[in-house]
Amino acid sequence: MGIGRARRDRDTPWLHGAEHAVTRISRRQFVSLAPTVMGGTSLLSACAPSADTKGSAAIAAGIGRPDPGPGADNETLSWELVRNATLAPSSHNTQCWRFQLEPHAITLLPDLARRCPAVDPDDHHLFVSLGCATENLAHAALAHGLRAEATFDAAHGAIRVALAPTRAESSDLFRALPTRQCTRGDYDARPLSTDDLGLLERAGTSGGVHMLLYTERPTIERVLDFVVQANTAQMADPAFISELKTWIRFNGAEAAHTRDGLYTAASGSPNIPTWFGELAFSLFFTAKGENDRYAHQIRSSAGVAVFIGQAADKAHWIEVGRCYERFALQATALGIRNALVNQPIEVTAVRPQFATAFGLSGQRPDLVVRFGRGPRLPSSLRRPVQAVVV
């Protein structure tokens, strides 16, 4: 817990005064357990300090504010492009990126202080997250009359995005940037149209990345079996649990303080005081409850997508991130939700079995995503641009 706390203090220079609430349970544990074990949403809501939600809601509203438009001066425009890039998903919402600005380029750098060595020992998720941010940047640049050309410098792990003038184009995918989210709730289990599936497949595929789309129930059940197997392993792993704990934000006050991490309201759970969450989990948490929740969520989905890069290296992980983000933005534009269920590719002992079961022997599946239609949940937060520009 000491490490997590030190990191938060160091990385939140725009904040002062408020005392940290320290968490002692995992996001996955919390999300699954809260409504069922602790008497349902109403009881938990009654415990929520009302001031909690105001800070985080105001920040979330600011994150989606309108762009300044192509008439903005160069620096303002660069900051606006960075703001759009930071709306991308990142593993545990670590926002593991920094941005270096030049007159005609923006370079994305990994923020190694935000690594997650337990769940992501080889920085796979970190570079996928950078790929997601790169994709956002490209859509925002085009909307502002700039063509983005990304090149990867493997020696520094840096993605340099050169920006050249072109005709401005505000695409559906660009307009989806502020409302895209990883929606961890239940969906309506109804199938998607062939047209919608075709659009998702096209968005999520590139020269170096292919995607498998599963909509048949028996295949979705096989994916679920692997999620349960791998999730059970993760929850028995003290290093995984301990790392995850440092990224949990139990209530709006905590979320507003760090503006990163896994805000429980964004997973459909109410705001609760930290001490209450700690107590409930130490008393009632079971692996079965967690796996049952995943079973319900996956069975409520219209399908599952698996993303596979042609090679297992950083350049391809970035490309996987770009493809997944295009898929997520296309889904958002169509009113379709998605959420990552990556447990089978995170647990190294399970990953090869998962690959073999889905005809991918010898390859590394990169992401597992469920999708379908369902209600939006509250947005997770982002740090301000000044915290990520170097």
Ligand X SMILES: Cc1cc2nc3c(=O)[nH]c(=O)nc-3n(C[C@H](O)[C@H](O)[C@H](O)COP(=O)(O)O)c2cc1C
> Smallest distance, Å, CB 313 to ligand X?
15
Q: How far apart are CA 263 and CA 382, in angstroms?
A: 11
Q: How far apart are CA 103 and CA 163, in angstroms?
A: 9
Q: Rounded to the nearest 10 degrees, what angle do helices 27-37 and 287-299 cross at?
A: 90
> Smallest distance, Å, CB 362 to ligand X?
22
**What is the token pair recorded at 158?**
């840096």
Positions touching ligand X (CB under 6 A) are: 89-93, 125, 128-129, 132, 181-182, 184, 262, 339-340, 342, 380
- Closest to ligand X by CB, 55 vs 131, is 131
- Closest to ligand X by CB, 77 vs 306, is 306
> Smallest distance, Å, CB 166 to ligand X?
28
> Smallest distance, Å, CB 389 to ligand X?
20
> Smallest distance, Å, CB 349 to ligand X?
16
Task: Name 387's Cβ contacts closer than 8 Å, sequence gap at least 6.
Answer: 11, 12, 13, 14, 259
**Intra-chain end-to-end CA distance of the chain, in Å:** 27
177 secondary structure, DSSP code: T
- Closest to ligand X by CB, 146 vs 382, is 382
- Closest to ligand X by CB, 146 vs 381, is 381
Residue whose beta carbon is closest to ligand X: 89
Residue 210: burial class (beta carbons within 10 Å; 0-12, 13-18, 19+): middle
Task: Name 68's Cβ contacts closer than 8 Å, sequence gap at least 6.
Answer: 76, 77, 80
- Closest to ligand X by CB, 90 vs 251, is 90
